[in-house]
Amino acid sequence: MVRRSGAVLIAGGLGIGLFALAVASLDSSALAQSADLVLCDRLAADPTDPDKPADVKGTPDIAASDVATAIKFCKLAAGASRRALYQLGRAYAANRQWPEAIGAYRKAADKGSTAAMVELGVMLATGSGVPRDEAQARKLLERAADAGNARGVANLMALSNNAGAPSDPVKARALLSKAAETNAEAQYQLGLMLADGIGGPQDDVGARALFERAAAQNHAGALERMGTFAKSGRGGPQDSSASKAYYEKAAALGNEDAKAALKRAECPWVIADKRGKVVSNLCF
């Protein structure tokens, strides 16, 4: 692993003399904190975090070889930065240190980090590393969604869909419309609402366009929906070969509905009992 120097990162392309002047003009503790945050951002920033500066690219997954270094520098930077505190939680989670990750997320959420609210909300909703608590998960996701966090909106809608229709479908559709500008899960969830006419008019063409955008980002559910829409010609052209390709991609990502669709295509003949209940499919 290449050794990263805080001084080099701060200096960038500056000459030695200019860097020396910069160092002399800064309090040493402030300089150290800045270097810690730069390294924390470099290794553990979340590309979807609204707190992330525009010039920080972020990484969807923290590399295993970087986890220990990320924990070290994010811990040093966390005292003065809620973003670093959230990123410390990400680093702990990448290392499967769940109690530490949850603790960091809670502290970051208390300081207003919507990204931390989402991560903690998802963990509580799924029971990952913490006892399942859907009520608390909903509160956290609602706070993040109300603050405009796209992942917060998308995950709140996913949680609501698991419990049935959203309590306020018109509001849900409006929130998703904004979140869908950047978020694949929001595109998928909004597509479902448009396809079923929930919270507004039914719009198969709009739903298909949203599913297609999310499918391009390898969203398994959207890939499965595109397979169904392409097979039937719903919202656009009918294309059996494209449908099969979408189903295969979704199935490879673990989508059970896509796997079932592929099985039905291989075994189109249905065997039913006297009451019409499907017993099995017959393959040739």
Give the least confident one: 124-133, 162-171, 172-181.
162-171
The share of the chain scoring above pLDDT 90, in percent, equals: 63
What are the start and end residues of each CATH 1.25.40.10 domain in the chain?
203-284
CA atoms within 13 A on the CB side of 234: 20
Say if residue 256's pLDDT is above 80: yes
CA 185 – CA 47 distance, rounded (Å): 15
The architecture (CATH level 2) of 203-284 comes to Alpha Horseshoe (1.25)
149: tokens are 């966090």
d(CA 197, CA 119): 30
206-227 pLDDT tens trace: 999 999 999 999 999 999 999 9
Task: Tell whether the model's pLDDT for residue 264 goes beyond 90.
Answer: no
Q: pLDDT averaged over the chain?
A: 85
Q: What is the pLDDT of residues 133-157, one digit of tens each?
A: 999 999 999 999 888 898 898 888 8
pLDDT tens digits, residue range 72-114?
999 999 999 999 999 999 999 999 999 999 999 999 999 999 9
Angle, helix 98-110 to helix 82-94, in steps of 10 degrees:
160
Q: What is the pLDDT of residue 157?
A: 83
pTM: 0.65
Residue 253's pLDDT band, with cuts at 50, 70 and 90, is very high
Residues 242-260: what's their mean pLDDT?
A: 95
Residue 271 is predicted with a pLDDT of 67
62: region left, alpha or beta (phi > 0 left; psi from -120 to 50 alpha) = beta
